[in-house]
Structures are given as structure tokens and as C-alpha cells.
Amino acid sequence: MSYSPFLKIINLFKEGNNDQSSPLLDLCEISRLYEQMREEPFPKIYFPGDQSLYKEITSSVKKGNVNNLTRTSYYHDFFKKHSELHWAFLAHMVSRNAGYHMTDLRSHLFSHILDAGEQRSLFSFLERCNAAIFNDAYPQLLLYEKWKLTGESPFHLLKKFNVSVFMHKMWDEFIKTGNQHVLTIALIMNEQHMIQKRILSDPNLNIGIERWKFFLQDRLEFTSILFPYGKHLPYSLAGLSVSHFEKVDRRILLGKKLYSVLFHGSVLPSAFTFADRHPHTGSREDYWPHLYSVEEKKSRLFSPTLASAWENESPLHLSSQDWFNAQTADVMTPLLSMVTPRHFSMTRKWKARATILVNLKRD
């Protein structure tokens, strides 16, 4: 197979001046995986035990997919039992940030930018993405847990859960190699392509605000993914700013960088301790109570809990289309390398931003 499709877009994933790159899979390995994914799959036969496991997992997913709080908690609990699955903790911390963004919509700042209807629509958009990822990924985690318990592969059930054939192969590969980095990046790729296919590419998508408002917020990097870490309050913040959210390649690259940041030796131990000590509420008071408060205070920024800000949404209904269909070989490019930003401290930047907002509120 020619490698030219890969080479054409490698530049999209080359790190910038502030990034370091380390090789992951080579082109030969990626080509092999891609060709196997493109093979016509054998018809799946489900035995009574399969049907029982499917019902059991479906019930667990339904219980966990109530709202952002339950999803975030389920990811954390899973990682505590299976710490080799790095994606589970990354998902927990990113899902915490999704909750912060949801409650930010009820802050004083957003109330001056968006009316109530626009806030509701943007919340529904964030909630839809958060729920879709859990609905797709959590069955995969539970099937892995089942494999650990029994030693028998249940991954043929992925098709029944409408999980992409891409992940069918990547789970098989993980069972053989135990390569945590490859599996984590594969899951990042899968979930971002999935929401691109089933949500962001929907011609009927309506997030309820004019496009210029959405993209202005996006281009100005108003939104950041933050990982609290350190020994005590107020915690330091590691993370990165989000931009170009509409581009799947940029989101995947961001996910790769966030993975490297969260699992950095200086961040991971205390970030996990933070997550363990502070159950997710959706309020930024969880990590910076000196600047945020769940109550209306003149000296603090209002950051409500998710439970007080929003009611639960209706259950999710999405297309079951496989995003991998008709993909060219270059879709595999993110598996070429790990990418680590040289600079990922957000403490000063976020403190300055929050302090300015507090001072404006006081005036």
C-alpha cells in the first residue's frame, strides 16, 4: 500500500514551537491496521450469554448517562478499578470541564452575552456531545472489564452497541500489545469522529446562538480545559485553550496534548488526588473557592452547581452511522506520535482572567 495519503496530511499534526513529539506507531503498522479495518466483517452471531451481557451493560450505561455529574463520576470510578485505561481518567477530567462550561452559561458574564433561550440551546449542545461520548465509550470500558474478569473476549458486542469498526480493531490490538498510549489516542480519535459524524455534521444542528458569537468565543480562546493539581488549595492549573472546535483534526490534536499534560509526572498524582477528594459538582468553586462561589457574592464570581443551574435533558437519540465508513488512510495519522506541549501551566492566565472579572463585578 502507498503511504502517500498519510504523508499528505502529516503536517497537520506536526507540533508547533512549543510542542515535543515522540514516535508511536510507524507507517507500516498503521497501514496494517487500516487495511484490517477495511476488510468486510464476518456476520455477528449473538448467543444467549451475549444478549444477557448486552442488557446488563445497556442498563449500566443508562444509569450513568443521566447528566454530566453521573458520567463524570462513572469515569472516575472506572479508572480507580482499571488504572491501565488512561482514557477513563482523561475522560473524567475533560468531562469535569464540560460541566464547568455548562454552569458558566449561568454566570453573570454570559447573561450579558446570551439570552435565556440561547443559554439553553448552547447547554443542550454541550450536553448532547457529553452524553454521546459516554453512550459510545462506556460500553467499551465495561466490555474490557468483562474481558479482565473472564479472559474471554466479548468485543464482538461492540457492533451491537453501534461502536465503530475502528475501535473493534483497536481493542483487539490493545489486548495483544497492552499499548496504553495507542489505545488512549484511538479512543480520542473515535469519540471526536463520532460526534463529528452524528452531531456536528448534522445539517439540522442549531445551537441557538448566531455563528459569530460562537466562533468569537472559540477564536478568542475564552474556553479552556483545566486540570487542577498540586498539594492543596488554591490548586495550580494545567491545561490548554480550546479553539477551532468545529474541526475534528484540531480537536484530536488537542486531545492528544491534553493526554500528555494530564499524565505528565508533575501533574497526574495530585490531579488524581484532587479528583478523589473533590466530587464533581459543576462549580468552579471545587478548585478555586477564593475566586468562585456557588452563592451570589460581590467578592467572588458566581459559579453555580450543575444541579442548581440545569435540569436533566431527555435521553439521547442519535444516528448509528459508523464514522469510519469511506474514510481514507490519512484518518489514521494521529497514531503516528505522542505530542506534549512544552508549556501547559494555566494558573497565571486563568487567575488574571478571573481577577479582572471579579474587579469588573465590584465596580
- The one-character DSSP state at 307 is H
Name the 3-class secondary structure at 112: helix
Residue 264 included in any domain: yes
What's the pLDDT at 291? 95
| CA separation for the pair 350, 355 (Å, rounded) | 8
Domain membership of residue 4 (yes or no) is: no
Asked whether residue 10 is assigned to any structural domain, the reply reads no
Domain that holds residue 151: 22-313+324-362
- Tell me if 5 is assigned to some domain: no
Kindly give the interhelix angle for 180-195 and 165-177, rounded to the nearest 10 degrees. 170
Instruction: Please give the C-alpha separations between residue 90 and each of 78, 93, 111, 245, in angstroms, as whole numbers.
Output: 12, 5, 30, 18
DSSP 315: P
Q: Has residue 225 been placed in a domain?
A: yes
The percentage of the chain sitting over the pLDDT mark of 90, rounded to a whole number, equals 74
Give yes or no for a contact between 95 and 68, defined as CB atoms under 8 angstroms apart: yes
- For residue 229, list its beta bridge partners: 236
Task: Note whether residue 133 is domain-resident.
Answer: yes
pLDDT tens digits along 137-151:
999 999 999 999 999
- Print the SS3 string covering 186-229: HHHHHHHHHHHHHHHCCCCCCCCCCHHHHHHHHHCCCCEEEEEE
Is the pLDDT at 210 greater than 90, yes or no? Answer: no
1-24 pLDDT tens trace: 444 444 433 343 344 457 899 999
- Amino acid identity at 213: K
pLDDT attached to residue 43: 66
The answer to whether 32 touches 62, Cβ cutoff 8 Å, is no
**Domains: count for the chain:** 1
Task: Find the helix packing angle between 68-81 and 116-150, rounded to 10°.
Answer: 20
Q: Look up residue 41 and give its DSSP letter.
A: P
For residue 223, is it within any domain?
yes
Full-model pTM:
0.93
How far apart are alpha carbons 76 and 74 in whole angstroms? 5
* Residue 238 parent element (H or E): strand 236-241
Mean pLDDT of the chain: 90
C-alpha cell at 327: 474514510
The pLDDT assigned to 359 comes to 85
| Residue-wise pLDDT tens digits, 46-105 | 999 999 999 999 999 999 999 999 999 999 999 999 999 999 999 999 999 999 999 999
The answer to whether residue 12 sits within a structural domain is no
Across 13-42, average pLDDT: 83
Tell whether the model's pLDDT for residue 118 goes beyond 90: no
Cα radius of gyration (the chain)? 21
**pLDDT confidence bin for 243, thresholds 50/70/90:** confident
